[in-house]
Amino acid sequence: MKRIVISIVILAVMFAGCFYSVKVSDDFSKKLIEQIHIIEDSYEKNDFKTAQDTAQQLKDEWGKFVDYSILINDLGHAVEITSSIAEIQSFAQDKDDEIYAACDRAKAQIDLYIDMQKPTFWKII
C-alpha cells in the first residue's frame, strides 16, 4: 500500500511540475513578446535609444532563460529564437528598417515555442 501512495505522490509532483513549467514558459514568452512590441513602437516613433536598450534587455533575458532553463526540449528551436533576437538587436543598433521583419520572425518563433510547451494528449503519448 505504501508503494501505491508513494507512486501517487510522485505522479502528483510530476504533474504539478509539468504545469508549473508551462506557466513559467508561457509568462516569460508573453513578456518577450511585449518587449518586441515596445521595440517596434519605439523604432516607429524614431526613439532609437529606447529600441536599442529594449533590444539589449530582450537579448540578455532570453540568454539567461536559455542558459538556466532545463525546460527547453527543442534546442534547435531555441537557436532560431536566439538568432531572431540577435537580428533585432543588430537592426536596432544599425537603425535598419529590417527590424520589423526580424520582430515578426521572433514573435512567430516565440508563439511556436509557446505552442510546443503546452501539454496535449498526443504529446504525452
* Domains present along the chain, CATH in parentheses: 22-124 (1.20.120)
Using CA atoms of 103, 75, 22, 64 in order, give the dihedral in degrees to the nearest 10: -70
Instruction: Give per-residue pLDDT as tens, 15-71.
Output: 888 788 788 888 888 999 999 999 999 999 988 999 999 999 999 998 888 876 655
Q: What is the pLDDT of residues 78-103, one digit of tens each?
A: 888 889 999 999 999 998 889 999 99
- Average pLDDT value for the chain: 86
Q: Which residues contact 38 (CB under 8 A, 6 or more apart)?
A: 50, 54
Q: In whole angstroms, give the CA distance from residue 65 to residue 82.
A: 11
pLDDT score recorded for residue 24: 83
Non-local (6+) Cβ contacts of 102 within 8 A are 84, 87, 88, 91
Residue 68: burial class (beta carbons within 10 Å; 0-12, 13-18, 19+): exposed
Cell triple for 73: 526540449
